[in-house]
Structure 1
């Protein structure tokens, strides 16, 4: 197999894995509405059972970069596909709180593989970094976007268990196809357009600290918004809508995030990262404040602004790792990046349950707005610190 063919196949499966990673992780937050109706347990009780999944999503991402360096990224991505498939079938078989919590934890461990492994494979095989990062991010966003709608439709028509069984079978089938069609890791793409040196920085530790703050706070807004979105629409839109329509509206909101990711993928190749960082981050607190203080149509406007900013930020953050970190350290850097963002934000689930019980989603979204403000302040600090660097507009090796 030629290196070009291997790179194309790898990118296709990496993109599919990104879509599945976000789709599967967000099945439960929508299915929980149907599960609550069937079991009689409250939303707060059931959503709390996903704590282990979301903590493992971040916590277990830390060793995945090291494991991929030892066992191969292709092999680890195969484990992702197969592990996700088995864990989906496991959740579908659950009959009580303990089984739900246990299988969701397994699902969270499997989900942790993708970002440090898949992101490194993407950067290595990309032909045009910004464009391919944007395309990959859109796949992930469409996975998240379709999760609410597809889950709601399956739960309403076939029962909530089918919402886990069918994606699980898809994961297993893709895993088998990946093993058959992608024989190895391959080598970094030799003909990437816009190839330049790494961006030099004069104060790397300060930039790293500020970036870490932004990643942690951004992980909080990411998880609060994506987990709560279906229920926020259910409670605060002001309309008595069936579950399938609630899921469809949530999907529509996520589609705007996909559009922003596509746009950021194009802008990353032509504009400086700190400038994009500052401009995009401003929309997080703005959108969350609007969503926290309004209902109806204005609520949807606030959610659209928030989702667009949050998902666009994913592209910018990944581009920062690709441009500021040497190739030999990228897998570990992506591991740390997602460890910081997803481990801390994994505790969003119990916080969400507590805030919702105390003050509804107005309080939940107000709390998210505080984290959004922290992201924006961190972006300003990053911009100021990066002014001393000799940054170019083209992507780095």
Structure 2
């Protein structure tokens, strides 16, 4: 198989995997509304059972870059597809809180594979970094966007178990097709992101620390918003809305994030990453603050701004790793990036439950707005540090 065909096929499966990664991980936060009705357990009790899934999502991302370097990225992505499918069946079979907790942990372990492995595969095969990152981001966003609506539809029509079984079957089919159509990792058709020179910086350590703060705070706002969104719509847009309508409104909010990712992908190929990051970082504290202080349509407007900023930042941060980290260390850098972003933020699930019980979603979203302010401060620091002149002694080789 020629390099061009391999790159096209690889990118297609990487995009589908990104959609599935976010779709499957967000089934439970919507399905939990139906599960609560059936079991009689409270939302707070049930949502806490997903803590292990979201912690594993980040914690287990750390070794995935090393495993991909050792066993091959194709092998790891195939395990992702099959592991996701089997874990979906496990959650559907759960009949008590312990079983839910165990199978959700397995699901989180499988989900941890995608970002460090898929991001590295994308950058290796991309022809235009910004455009391909933007398109890939849209696939992930559409997975997150449709999770609420599709889950609500399946749960309403066939029971909450179907919301896991149907995606599980699709994951297994994708895994079989991937193994059949993509014979190996390959080197890509180059001329691409991996071949571009690394951007030199004057003070790499402070820059890494600032970037780490942005990643951790961004992971917090991302998980708080995406996990709580269906219940926020349920309580603060219209109390007593049917589950199907709740899922549809949540899906509509996610769609705006997809549009932002397309825009960011185009802008990355034209403008400075620090400038784009700084401009986008203003939207998170603004949108979350508006959502925390309002209900109804103003709350939806705040959530739209927030979702646009959240998903735009994902594209920009992935582009930063691609442009500031040498190709040899890129898979491990993505592992660390997602480890930081998702491990700590995995603990937002019990935090949501605790804050919701004490102050409702006004308090939950207010705390998220504070993390949004941290992102703005980090983006400002990143902008300042990258403006400092670089001496030849500290500039890395291209």
Whether TM exceeds 0.5 here: the answer is: yes
Q: 1:13 — aligned with what?
A: 13
1:12 and 1:334 map into 2 onto residues whose CA distance is: 20
- What's the offset of the Cα at 1:190? 1.9
1:270 and 1:191 map into 2 onto residues whose CA distance is: 17
- What's the offset of the Cα at 1:238? 3.2
1:254-333 matches, within 5 Å, as: 254-333=254-333
On the 8 A contact 2:124/2:190 being kept in 1, the answer is no
Unaligned runs of 5+ in 1: 391-395
1:139-288 matches, within 5 Å, as: 139-192=139-192, 196-288=196-288
On the 8 A contact 2:133/2:315 being kept in 1, the answer is yes
1:241 and 1:45 map into 2 onto residues whose CA distance is: 21
Q: 2:393 — aligned with what?
A: none
- What's the offset of the Cα at 1:240? 3.0
1:244 and 1:32 map into 2 onto residues whose CA distance is: 13
Secondary structure in 2 matching 1:253: helix
- What's the offset of the Cα at 1:247? 0.2
- What's the offset of the Cα at 1:196? 3.6
Q: 2:394 — aligned with what?
A: none
Q: Which whole-Å deviations, capped at 9, do the CAs of 1:197-229 have from their partners, x for residues lacking one?
A: 211101000100000000000000000000000
- What's the offset of the Cα at 1:330? 0.3
1:191 and 1:386 map into 2 onto residues whose CA distance is: 25
On the 8 A contact 2:193/2:322 being kept in 1, the answer is no
2:76 and 2:169 map into 1 onto residues whose CA distance is: 19
- What's the offset of the Cα at 1:53? 0.2
Q: 1:77 — aligned with what?
A: 77
Q: 2:348 — aligned with what?
A: 348
On the 8 A contact 1:214/1:378 being kept in 2, the answer is yes
Q: 1:88 — aligned with what?
A: 88
Unaligned runs of 5+ in 2: 391-396
- What's the offset of the Cα at 1:352? 0.5
On the 8 A contact 1:128/1:194 being kept in 2, the answer is no
Closer, same or farther in 2 for the Cα pair 1:66/1:194, shift >3 Å? closer
Q: 1:368 — aligned with what?
A: 368
1:119 and 1:148 map into 2 onto residues whose CA distance is: 25
Secondary structure in 1 matching 2:278: helix
- What's the offset of the Cα at 1:261? 0.3
- What's the offset of the Cα at 1:389? 5.1
On the 8 A contact 1:128/1:192 being kept in 2, the answer is yes
1:249 and 1:236 map into 2 onto residues whose CA distance is: 12
Q: Which whole-Å deviations, capped at 9, do the CAs of 1:121-168 have from their partners, x for residues lacking one?
A: 000000111000000000000000000000001001110000000000
Q: 1:393 — aligned with what?
A: none
2:344 and 2:185 map into 1 onto residues whose CA distance is: 31
Q: 1:122 — aligned with what?
A: 122
1:245 and 1:231 map into 2 onto residues whose CA distance is: 12
Closer, same or farther in 2 for the Cα pair 1:369/1:11, shift >3 Å? same
On the 8 A contact 1:288/1:302 being kept in 2, the answer is yes
On the 8 A contact 2:6/2:188 being kept in 1, the answer is no
CA RMSD of aligned residues (A): 1.3
On the 8 A contact 1:53/1:108 being kept in 2, the answer is yes
- What's the offset of the Cα at 1:239? 4.5
